[in-house]
Amino acid sequence: TWTSGNVVDQLVEEIRETVGEDRVICGLSGGVDSSVAAALVQRAVGDQLTCVFVDHGLLREGEAEQVEKDFVAATGVDLVVVDARERFLSALAGVTDPEQKRKIIGREFIRVFEQAARDVVRAHGGADAEASGDHPVKWLVQGTLYPDVVESGGGAGTANIKSHHNVGGLPDDLQFKLIEPLRTLFKDEVRQVGIELGVPEAIVWRQPFPGPGLGIRIVGEVTADRLAILRRADAIAREELTRAGLDRDIWQCPVVLLADVRSVGVQGDGRTYGHPIVLRPVSSEDAMTADWTRVPYEILARISSRITNEVEDVNRVVLDVTSKPPGTIEWE
């Protein structure tokens, strides 16, 4: 019978057999899959695993802390945090085109991760390491799920390992073999395994969030000030939707800052000229199609009044009532 306990035991056993005494590296994104994959590998081989978290400064409020503090406390993983916030902001300066933003964020991410991976490899490689009895870094953990495997034509094997020579654009001097401990599991099973492993609930139940993060939820140039505004508005919307018990009804609710749009408003004693925030709550099965979620008016009213009261420079909240198609879920 399928229990998360049995599955954890079995996967841990397989990982131990595969990895032996080698060292393993894993990139943590803050999402469900990489977190659960890392927690599993840490359960199996402990400190042979080093995780790398690239803080690109485009996460939502509290998410970097959830990885750096809560996840580490709950799982005991050895974590290297790379603070790349300035680097991403510089790279994004002056850029407004959505595709260009995505390319830049993806490119910078790979460069920063590569450098961090090299540092980890160097710390455990070479003659020094052999002399001290250390083992080289041979494996890279990926949070690939069963649907991804099927989609890429991989079939339904029971093996949880496949090897690759050149992973995701990593350079030739960084050749890892891939370890994909979740490749037989569906998303809901991954969540159960995460709970079993003690991964924080805030991570296990996280709704989908795009890799480029808040960078593609600011329509216009990405700046530190704009990120701060969006982060606050997003935190308020999430807080109220959670409080209303809507997290399981809503697939995700992007909150978007129209940074290049201003409208006139009146607040307190005077006229304002601020930015609109867009709420984009959607219901979906798989993100291929989506419908806008009929969030109760009282909840929308509370979110709207809190955002306009609490977030400086925002004087208007609007609701996106477009399904997908024709709209995509994200605005960029």
- Binding footprint of ligand XMP on the chain (CB under 6 A): 102, 208, 210-212, 252, 287, 324, 328-330
255 is in an annotated binding site: no
Burial label, 116 (beta-carbon count in 10 A; 0-12, 13-18, 19+): buried
| Gyration radius from the chain CA atoms | 21
Q: How far is the CB of 227 from ligand XMP (least distance, A)?
A: 17
34 is in an annotated binding site: yes
Q: How far is the CB of 269 from ligand XMP (least distance, A)?
A: 40
> Which is closer to ligand XMP, CB of 99 or CB of 269?
99
> Which is closer to ligand XMP, CB of 176 or CB of 209?
209
d(CA 309, CA 293): 24
> Which is closer to ligand XMP, CB of 115 or CB of 328?
328
Instruction: Report residue 8 CA to chain centroid gap.
Output: 23
Q: How far is the CB of 251 from ligand XMP (least distance, A)?
A: 7
- Amino acid letter, 127: A
> Which is closer to ligand XMP, CB of 12 or CB of 67?
67
Nearest-CA neighbor of 157 among 167, 165, 146, 148? 146
35 is in an annotated binding site: yes
User: Who contacts 305 (Cβ-Cβ below 8 Å, separation ≥6)?
Assistant: none
125 is in an annotated binding site: no
Q: How far is the CB of 252 from ligand XMP (least distance, A)?
A: 6
90 is in an annotated binding site: no
Nearest-CA neighbor of 216 among 255, 250, 247? 255
Please state the residue numbers annotated as binding site for ATP.
Answer: 29-35
Please state the residue numbers annotated as binding site.
Answer: 29-35
